Amino acid sequence: MTYIQFDFQNPIIFKETQMIKFQQQLKNIHHKLCVQKQQKNPCLDWMNIHQTEDNFKIQELAKKIRNRFQFLVVIGIGGSYAGAKAAIEMLQGTMNHGTKILFVGQNMSSSYIHQILEQLHDKDFAIHMISKSGSTLEPALAFRIFRTFLEKKYGENGAQERIFVTTNPNDGNLLKLSQKKKYTIFALPENICGRFSVLTSVGLLPMAVAGIDIEYVQKGATTAYKELFSQIFNFNNPVYQYVLYRNLLYQSGKKIELFVNYDPDMLAFGKWWSQLFAESEGKNHKGIFPSTVIFSTDLHTIGQYIQEGERHLFETVLWFENTLSNITIEADFENLDGLNDLAGQTLQNINKKAFLGTLQAHVEGGVPNFILTIPKKDAFSFGYLVYFFELAVTLSSYLNKVDPFNQPGVEAYKDYMYSLLNQCPIG
Ligand code: PA5
């Protein structure tokens, strides 16, 4: 039995031949991955990063930052920030009582940066600048703004004590600048692309500063690795089931996958998930379009469409059996709101009924549903889920004959933006 439980409720009948074909292809892909892993193919370096050697350095630094600074400004875009934000929101919501993590460099909104600068003007803070290429415009601009702010306030030496950088160890403007200014540098391995990097310093340093137990995160990832990626091919493995059926759905015309959570603290995780699947699979005019929703909130925004709109979507629901707190509905002697029938029930139980009721309605309405059940929302589960989805998207991309580890399409907007800015890309 695996830590994650998989269930599939499907109103669609698949063609037997297609099913057998995919099963055989998945078996072959599994075999190739095993061989490539044994041969230490660098493309699969992400599979080993739950054993990172930087751990001790990260934890020591995180302790120092926590003791000294009220804020850590994390600068990065895409895979260079989405995982850390996902972990912090999933595990702490708005309840972070230690060093607060602020994220910048994911946009070029003047008013957003202005608000963060206002928030920090009389505070002491550190910066974690993350860019693998060292040349992405959004974080590079934010870094210039916040680095200059620190240099003006504390001088070059004071800024140096407050700035930490994760980048590739070989080249780029960020590396050169950081070496010149003698910032502490974490090397991001060449073969790990941003969206697969959350279990390196990219995600682990912000998480540790926020007070998350990163050992436990890695324990979750290691458990997922052991449970889900064994030498022996096994179709009961939940990752293989998920990959097989979501691709059968895709072949039968279901082009949109909604990742569903029942807790607003999971929104950033949903965004991380969307990026992972969109950038890995969406190539050569192929790929399931990933989107993320929070129920029951979004049942009152796009629920109508899901129930009765075009039948081109399926849902993947992530359900946590236990919550951090158990709020119980109290009886009210006047019962003016008519809710006394629910007195004595926990909110978690009521939320679960919403989940089960929605599941039934959507499946009956023609929307296939995957249900991934996890015992509780903690650091271990975060690490486990990261590994689960990274493995799933790798297998699924290979099944669709696309390379999961590049993102050539992201360059198109940059070329036009730079030609409008009338300059060459920095770096
Ligand atoms: O997943 C990816 O590789 C991308 O989303 C990158 O993380 C993102 O484009 C940022 O790139 P960089 O870290 O080079 O600034």
Give 338's contacts (C-beta < 8 A, 6+ positions apart). Answer: none
Q: How far away, in angstroms, is 106 Cα from ligand 1 center? A: 11
Q: How far away, in angstroms, is 424 Cα from ligand 1 center? A: 19
Best residue among 130, 132, 393 to mutate for probing ligand 1's pocket (most ligand atoms within 8 Å of CB) is 132
**pLDDT, tens digit, for every residue of 373-388?**
999 999 999 999 999 9
Give the model's pLDDT for residue 426.
52
For 67-88, what is the mean pLDDT? 97
- 3-class SS at 358? helix
How confident is residue 423, by pLDDT bands cut at 50, 70 and 90?
Answer: low
Give the model's pLDDT for residue 427.
44
Could you tell me if the CB of 79 is within 6 A of ligand 1?
Answer: yes
Token reading at 147 = 């680095």
The alpha helices in 310-426, defined as continuous H runs, are 347-364, 379-399, 411-421
Q: How many residues does the chain have?
A: 427
**pLDDT, tens digit, for every residue of 136-184?**
999 999 999 999 999 999 999 999 999 999 999 999 999 999 999 999 9
Could you tell me if the CB of 131 is within 6 A of ligand 1?
Answer: yes
**pLDDT, tens digit, for every residue of 196-208?**
999 999 999 999 9
HSE-CB of 156 using CA atoms within 13 angstroms: 5
Q: Which of 8-22, 279-293, 354-368, 374-388 has the lowest mean pLDDT?
A: 8-22
Q: Which of 270, 349, 368, 352 is nearest to 319 (CA)?
A: 352
Could you tell me if the CB of 30 is within 6 A of ligand 1?
Answer: no
The residues that are catalytic are 279, 300, 414
Cis link prior to 296 (omega < 30° from 0)?
Answer: yes
Could you tell me if the CB of 105 is within 6 A of ligand 1?
Answer: no
- Backbone φ and ψ for 71, nearest 5 degrees, come out as -130, 145
Q: How far away, in angstroms, is 78 Cα from ligand 1 center? A: 5
Could you tell me if the CB of 197 is within 6 A of ligand 1?
Answer: no
- 3-class SS at 263? coil
The region that residue 344 occupies, defined by phi over 0 for left and psi between -120 and 50 for alpha, beta otherwise, is: left
Task: Note whether 249 and 290 are within 8 A (CB).
Answer: no
What rounded mean pLDDT belongs to the chain? Answer: 94
**pLDDT, tens digit, for every residue of 214-243?**
999 999 999 999 999 877 788 889 999 999
CA–CA dist 75, 371 (Å, integer):
34
